[in-house]
Amino acid sequence: MKPPYQITNKILNLYGEINQTLGVATSLLLIKPKAQLRKTNRVASIHSSLAIEGNSLEIKQVSALVDKQNVIAKAKDIIEVENAIKAYEAIGKFDSTNIDHFLKAHKLLTTNLIKSSGKFRTSQVGISKQGNISHIAPHWELVNSLMVNLFSYIKNDDDHKIIKSCVFHYEVEFIHPFTDGNGRMGRYWQTRLLMDVNPIFEFVPIEKIIKERQQEYYEVLAECDNQGSSTKFIEFMLDAINIALKETVNNSLPSISSYKRRVEYALANLNGWFDRKDYLNVCKGISTATASRDLKQLLDEKRITSKGSLRMTKYKKRGE
């Protein structure tokens, strides 16, 4: 059975924005960010996802562990980070539609932390927030069939993979298939599913945006539980993906000396009529003379049209 949710205008708009940004990444030939940004974003993903679950390590300590340096902290917190480092390094080796790979990933994340690492739970659980039971998970005898059904949905449903990744994330939180590590696995496997859409997602720290909006994250989860639909969660997650993806692309801007990449990026981010100042705001770091040359060349190439003159000149992409 297909998990319950509706496709809203907000979902369609956010999906469109994400695709537009992916188009920018493609035009920049941005398969993955440069090495330093990959490390920075990977550290942000690990730190944020674990901090949501109460891990006390600071981001500098997580970075040090990535660099295989010694860190003084609680043993459990260090193990969580070391496990997450291994899991994120291995993420590309997992088949996103394979339930056994899903279990192997959980084992990587929770080794030496829980006895049932890599196995679905065999007892009933409830989720407590601030001393109150906020969610009673489905009976443990249903977990295997629910997860099989969820993976069947991922593999066979016609909805776009970006949307399905959000549904999967929510359903893992709802089903709560493990005794521990469910939040980490929901966020981790969503990244793996998004990598099937575009490899850049391996290094997009969506977890960082979730951490920044942690209270809203929990509130939306609770609202969806009450409504029996993941629609609001899909909207929340698409917004988080959109923000994180744009930040990653902006931080990966090509050399400003490259006319081709510079104008591709600018045209993907400028809509309607714009002026030279707007162009400069998008292509940060270039001179006004360079901006003028770019715009003149785009006019010569008939990729844009113009109106007005001198400082009052406005430009627009052809066909808009």
Same domain for 92 and 134, yes or no, is: yes
What pLDDT was estimated at residue 113?
96
Q: For the chain, what's the residue count? A: 320
Q: Where are the alpha helices (DSSP H) in the chain?
A: 9-27, 35-52, 59-66, 75-89, 99-110, 140-156, 161-175, 182-195, 206-212, 214-227, 231-250, 259-269, 276-282, 288-300
Confidence grade of residue 141 (pLDDT, cut at 50, 70, 90)? very high
Region 108-118: what's the mean pLDDT?
96
Among residues 232, 250, 268, the one where a domain terminates is: 250
pLDDT-derived band at 249 (thresholds 50, 70, 90) equals confident
Domain annotation covers residue 3 = no
Domain extent, residue 181, equals 9-250
* CA quadruple 93, 97, 102, 104: dihedral sign: negative
What is the pLDDT confidence band of residue 320, given thresholds at 50, 70 and 90? confident
Helix 182-195 vs helix 161-175: crossing angle, to nearest 10: 170
- Number of structural domains (the chain) is 2
pLDDT at 256 over 70: no
My answer on whether 197 and 272 are in the same domain is no
Verify that 227 and 295 share a domain, yes or no.
no
Q: What is the pLDDT of residue 128?
A: 64
Q: What's the mean pLDDT in 14-38?
A: 82
Question: Crossing angle, helix 288-300 and helix 259-269, to 10 degrees?
Answer: 80
Do both 244 and 273 map to the same domain? no
66-97 pLDDT, tens digit each: 999 999 999 999 999 999 999 999 999 999 99
| Residue 31 covered by a domain | yes
CATH code of residue 42? 1.10.3290.10
Query: To the nearest whole number, what is the mean pLDDT of the chain?
Result: 92
φ/ψ bin of 140: left (φ > 0), alpha (ψ from -120 to 50), beta (otherwise): alpha
Q: Is residue 292 part of a domain?
A: yes
221 in the same domain as 84:
yes
Q: Residue 312 domain-assigned?
A: yes
Residue 60 domain-assigned? yes
Q: Do residues 76 and 94 share a domain? A: yes
Asked if 218 and 280 sit in the same domain, the reply is: no
Regarding whether 217 and 135 lie in a shared domain, the answer is: yes
Among 215, 250, 285, identify where a domain stops: 250
**222: three-class secondary structure by DSSP:** helix
* Confidence at residue 98, expressed as pLDDT on a 0 to 100 scale: 98
In sequence order, what are the beta bridge partners of 136?
126
How many angstroms separate the CA atoms of 122 and 208, rounded?
A: 32
Q: How confident is the model at residue 133 (pLDDT cuts 50, 70, 90)?
A: low
Count of other CB atoms within 10 angstroms of residue 182 = 21
Q: Do 124 and 137 meet the contact criterion of CB atoms below 8 Å apart? A: yes
Q: How confident is the model at residue 130 (pLDDT cuts 50, 70, 90)?
A: low
Is 101 found in the same domain as 41? yes
Residues 126 and 274 in one domain: no
Whether 236 and 301 map to the same domain: the answer is no
Q: What is the pLDDT of residue 173?
A: 95
**And the tokens for 8?**
């809203």
User: For residue 241, what pLDDT band results from cuts at 50, 70 and 90?
Assistant: very high
Name the one residue in this structure whose structure tokens are 């099989």: 148
Domain identity same for 160 and 216:
yes
> In 135-160, which positions are buried (b, 16+ CB within 10 angstroms) versus exposed (e)?
bebeebeebeebbebbbebbeeeeee
The model carries a pTM of 0.80
1 falls within a domain: no
Domain boundary among 227, 250, 273: 250
* Two tokens, residue 165: 């990744």
Report the SS3 class of residue 186.
helix
